[in-house]
């Protein structure tokens, strides 16, 4: 008896002796065979596909050859005027060609030649609104598939393509215009595309001209606008101008464009009053206005103009402090220095819909308003933010370790560097990774960022390092810079006059055992990127860390923190209310105005202070004596000339422990306002 080709007795026999692990062996063999057969199947399918593809491509080759041959013959016949059955005439120039080719490319001609109109039979067709050179280019395109577009011919070609309903060419022209848009041609493109009903291109051009309005005002193109066009443009709130003077200037320039010799002076100056009404005079500096009146005397001789300007001057004279805040500002005027309390640790504020960790608190000292900026998202790529810096070029950069999910996928930990991108809806872009460490400081000089000191984990031991790594925002590898004179972690870094200053922090006791507690540093170290050298300067009165540190008026201010007086020999530490100020010219420290209470920054890794408009701000802190869980979410201001701390905002809606306080110039219109359902915890 046979079962599946095996004698039954044998099968029983083997079955009886089969140990359970052997079942497993059979299974493995089965899988093995299955894999091999699947592999063969794939190989088979693959080769069949290859053969088919090959045949297909041979067919394609034949077809391409065929159509090229046809095109070539048609082109020759057009050149030699063989079998041409129609002559297009534009601006008096004749273009003999073939009806069938025209109809193949243009629905306009197809209808014309097939619907029994008069043109069906006449030999000559006059195209009235089409420039001859544009028509020539379109015919070349039909016969040779070539369309050499440039900024000089693109408008003519697109009008012709539009009239002849050649959609493909029209779209091609639009992309050309979009890609070659600049301040000198965007106005033209805008009005042109709007007139043709090319909405998308018109919107794009409008956005472009608004964001580049300062450059657009300097172009010749703006002088060619008609009065009503200029007027409509100048009414917009969305112009990216930082000074209203730009608007006044462009009005005066536009009106002056008519030289008396042309005899057209009346025509433009007739619109002066109407255009001056678009200027928001209250935003123009009175001195500038006076100067403009003096220098454009003849132009502004009109009684109504003078009256308008006198009124504007009077208004500013009456309320010299009348705040421009109440006025409608244009987009560019709202750009301002903001305090950014960036982090992705959500505790402390909640909206009705859950934690508010995807937004970070921003405060505008100039208006006292609160805004929110997108947080670097916690989780996928980035874990908690550890440090941050704003470069001189206003790039907002933060650093942190990789998020848990990313960490699970990779073997070595890194420091991940991210940059905020206003132009991409405020998303954060990953820039680079550096060797892992924590409790480091992040600095920036020019567009180079510096990773200074920190704790590294080596052979299961934390080791405070003195290494300094730098990386250019332009890209490339990381480079080592001169190491810090002492290993440091939890230190502060400040940029002042193209130097970096490192102060405070924790440093290991080299003369003791490893497990001895770290000592606090009172040293001030200066780094010069030119010589790549560190210099030690005069020490602070206190050894400390977790303090705020900023540069203001050429000096360095260090506020609060935990520390002890003098060099740290292990004496007891306390929370400080001291403010120490360093003067680099004289290399000395002096006492600043004491803080309202002893305090330390909310996070140990980065500063909670920053400078806006010549004043110093501290954004939230732990009010600490022995216990420091008392979180105060106030914003303190120090005017260095008054030498006194004031509270400018109380109980603001910031997170309990944001990561880093920075200052960047941003436009609040790009940011989010606090949602109505935001609640403090």
Ligand X SMILES: *[C@@H]1O[C@H](CO)[C@@H](O)[C@H](O)[C@H]1NC(C)=O
Q: What angle do CA 666, 672, 673 make, to 5 degrees?
A: 110
Shortest Å, Cβ 151 to ligand X = 22
Instruction: Indicate the burial class of 103 (C-beta count within 10 angstroms; 0-12, 13-18, 19 or more).
Output: middle
In whole angstroms, give the CA distance from residue 118 to residue 112. 9
Single residue of 246, 375, 605, 608 touching ligand X by CB under 6 A = 605
* Secondary structure of residue 340 in the 3-state scheme: strand
Among the residue ranges 25-33, 313-321, 346-354, 506-514, the one whose residues contact ligand X (CB under 6 A): 346-354
Among the residue ranges 154-162, 519-527, 589-597, 603-611, the one whose residues contact ligand X (CB under 6 A): 603-611
Q: Judged by CB, which is closer to ligand X: 292, or 663?
A: 292
> Nearest residue by C-beta to ligand X?
438
Give whole-number Cα distances, 197 to 77, 172, 204, 220, 561, in Å: 37, 16, 13, 25, 63
138-153 per-residue burial string, b: 16 or more CB within 10 A, e: under 16? bbebbbeeebebeeeb
Shortest Å, Cβ 95 to ligand X = 45
**Cβ proximity of 370 and 668 under 8 Å:** no
Which helix (DSSP H) or strand (DSSP E) does residue 115 occupy? none
Q: Judged by CB, which is closer to ligand X: 173, or 664?
A: 664
**Cβ proximity of 491 and 524 under 8 Å:** no
Shortest Å, Cβ 298 to ligand X = 9
Taking residue 537's Cβ as centre, other Cβ atoms within 10 Å add up to 17
Q: Judged by CB, which is closer to ligand X: 254, or 645?
A: 254
Shortest Å, Cβ 667 to ligand X = 7
Per CB under 6 A, 238 contacts ligand X: no
Q: 3-state SS of 496-507? A: ECCEEEEECCEE
Q: Which residues contact 681 (CB under 8 A, 6 or more apart)?
A: 347, 348, 349, 350, 656
Give whole-number Cα distances, 473 to 274, 395, 423, 431, 433, in Å: 48, 9, 17, 8, 12
Q: What angle do CA 16, 19, 21 make, to 5 degrees?
A: 150
Single residue of 604, 634, 637, 640 touching ligand X by CB under 6 A = 604
Q: Judged by CB, which is closer to ligand X: 136, or 347?
A: 347
Among the residue ranges 167-175, 536-544, 554-562, 602-610, the one whose residues contact ligand X (CB under 6 A): 602-610
Among the residue ranges 28-36, 291-299, 458-466, 591-599, the one whose residues contact ligand X (CB under 6 A): 291-299
Q: Judged by CB, which is closer to ligand X: 89, or 422?
A: 422
Per CB under 6 A, 355 contacts ligand X: yes
Count of residues that bind ligand X according to CB under 6 A: 22
Residue with tokens 């705040």: 323
Shortest Å, Cβ 586 to ligand X = 34
Q: Judged by CB, which is closer to ligand X: 134, or 206?
A: 206
Beta-sheet strands, E only, within 91-238: 93-97, 124-126
Pairing of strands 631-639, 615-623: antiparallel
Q: Judged by CB, which is closer to ligand X: 249, or 528?
A: 249
**Cβ proximity of 231 and 275 under 8 Å:** yes
In whole angstroms, give the CA distance from residue 591 to residue 579. 6
Q: What are phi and psi of 350, to 5 degrees?
A: -135, 145
Which helix (DSSP H) or strand (DSSP E) does residue 137 occupy? helix 132-144
Single residue of 292, 309, 581, 600 touching ligand X by CB under 6 A = 292
Shortest Å, Cβ 396 to ligand X = 14
In whole angstroms, give the CA distance from residue 159 to residue 192. 9
Among the residue ranges 189-197, 222-230, 288-296, 368-376, the one whose residues contact ligand X (CB under 6 A): 288-296
Single residue of 96, 231, 286, 347 touching ligand X by CB under 6 A = 347
Shortest Å, Cβ 383 to ligand X = 7
Q: Judged by CB, which is closer to ligand X: 113, or 545?
A: 545
Single residue of 470, 603, 623, 633 touching ligand X by CB under 6 A = 603
DSSP class of residue 672 equals B
Per CB under 6 A, 526 contacts ligand X: no
- The binding track of 401-440 with respect to ligand X, each residue x by CB under 6 A or -, is x------------------------------------xx-
Among the residue ranges 87-95, 197-205, 347-355, 584-592, the one whose residues contact ligand X (CB under 6 A): 347-355
Single residue of 131, 346, 443, 548 touching ligand X by CB under 6 A = 346
| Site for ligand X, residues 298 to 337, rule: CB under 6 A | 332
| Site for ligand X, residues 156 to 215, rule: CB under 6 A | 211, 214
Among the residue ranges 163-171, 556-564, 591-599, 600-608, the one whose residues contact ligand X (CB under 6 A): 600-608
Both tokens of residue 51? Answer: 């053969």
Shortest Å, Cβ 347 to ligand X = 4
Residue with tokens 């606008």: 225
Binding site for ligand X (CB under 6 A): 211, 214, 240, 249, 252, 291-292, 295-296, 332, 346-347, 354-355, 384, 386, 401, 438-439, 603-605
């Amino acid at each position: 008896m046979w079962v599946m080709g095996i004698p039954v007795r044998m099968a029983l026999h083997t079955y009886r002796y089969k140990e359970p692990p052997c079942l497993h062996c059979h299974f493995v063999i089965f899988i093995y065979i299955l894999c091999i057969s699947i592999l063969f199947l794939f190989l088979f399918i693959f080769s069949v596909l290859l053969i088919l593809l090959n045949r297909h491509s041979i067919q394609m080759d034949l077809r391409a050859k065929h159509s090229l041959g046809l095109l070539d013959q048609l082109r020759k016949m057009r050149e030699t005027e063989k079998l041409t059955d129609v002559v297009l005439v534009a601006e008096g120039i004749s273009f003999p060609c073939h009806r069938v080719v025209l109809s193949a490319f243009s629905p306009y001609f197809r209808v014309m030649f097939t619907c029994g109109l008069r043109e069906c039979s006449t030999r000559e067709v006059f195209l009235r609104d089409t420039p001859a050179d544009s028509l020539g280019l379109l015919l070349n395109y039909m016969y040779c598939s070539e369309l050499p577009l440039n900024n000089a011919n693109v408008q003519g070609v697109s009008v012709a393509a539009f009239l002849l309903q050649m959609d493909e060419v029209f779209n091609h022209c639009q992309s050309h215009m979009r890609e070659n848009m600049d301040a000198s041609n965007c106005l033209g493109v805008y009005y042109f595309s709007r007139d043709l009903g090319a909405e998308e291109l018109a919107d794009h051009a409008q956005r472009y001209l608004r964001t580049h309005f300062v450059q657009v005002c300097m172009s010749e193109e703006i002088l060619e606008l008609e009065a009503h066009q200029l007027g409509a443009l100048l009414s917009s709130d969305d112009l990216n101008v930082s000074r209203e003077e730009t608007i006044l200037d462009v009005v005066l320039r536009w009106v002056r464009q008519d030289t008396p010799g042309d005899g057209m002076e009346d025509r433009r100056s007739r619109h002066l009053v109407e255009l001056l009404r678009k200027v928001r005079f209250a935003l123009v500096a009175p001195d500038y206005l006076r100067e403009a009146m003096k220098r454009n005397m003849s132009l502004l001789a009109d009684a109504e103009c003078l009256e308008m300007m006198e009124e504007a001057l009077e208004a500013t004279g009456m309320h010299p402090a009348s705040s421009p805040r109440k006025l409608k500002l244009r987009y560019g005027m709202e750009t301002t220095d903001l305090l950014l309390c960036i982090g992705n640790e959500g505790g402390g504020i909640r909206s009705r819909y859950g934690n508010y960790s995807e937004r970070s608190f921003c405060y505008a000292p100039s208006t006292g308003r609160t805004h929110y900026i997108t947080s670097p998202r916690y989780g996928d790529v980035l874990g908690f933010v550890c440090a941050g810096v704003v470069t001189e070029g206003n790039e907002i950069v933060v650093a942190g370790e990789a998020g848990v999910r990313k960490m699970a996928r990779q073997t070595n930990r890194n420091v991940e560097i991210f940059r905020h991108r206003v132009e991409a809806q405020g998303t954060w872009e990953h820039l680079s990774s550096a060797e892992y460490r924590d409790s480091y400081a992040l600095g920036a000089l020019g567009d180079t960022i510096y990773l200074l000191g920190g704790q590294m984990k080596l052979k299961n031991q934390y080791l405070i390092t003195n290494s300094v790594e730098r990386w250019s925002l332009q890209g490339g590898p990381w480079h080592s810079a001169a190491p810090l004179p002492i290993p440091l972690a939890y230190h502060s870094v400040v940029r002042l006059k193209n130097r970096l200053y490192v102060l405070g922090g924790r440093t290991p006791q080299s003369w003791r055992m490893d497990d001895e507690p770290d000592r606090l540093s009172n040293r001030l170290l200066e780094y010069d990127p030119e010589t790549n050298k560190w210099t030690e300067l005069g020490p602070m009165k206190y050894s400390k860390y977790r303090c705020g540190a900023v540069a203001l008026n050429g000096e360095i201010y260090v506020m609060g923190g935990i520390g002890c007086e003098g060099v740290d020999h292990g004496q007891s530490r306390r929370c400080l209310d001291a403010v120490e100020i360093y003067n680099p010219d004289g290399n000395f420290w002096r006492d600043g105005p004491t803080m309202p209470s002893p305090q330390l920054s909310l996070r140990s890794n980065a500063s909670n202070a920053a400078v806006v408009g010549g004043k110093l701000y501290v954004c939230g802190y732990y009010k600490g004596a022995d216990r420091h869980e008392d979180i105060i979410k106030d914003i303190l201001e120090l005017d260095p000339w008054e030498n006194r701390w004031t509270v400018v905002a109380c109980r603001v809606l910031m997170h309990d422990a944001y990561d880093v306080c920075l200052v960047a110039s941003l436009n609040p219109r790009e940011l989010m306002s606090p949602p109505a359902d935001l609640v403090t915890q």
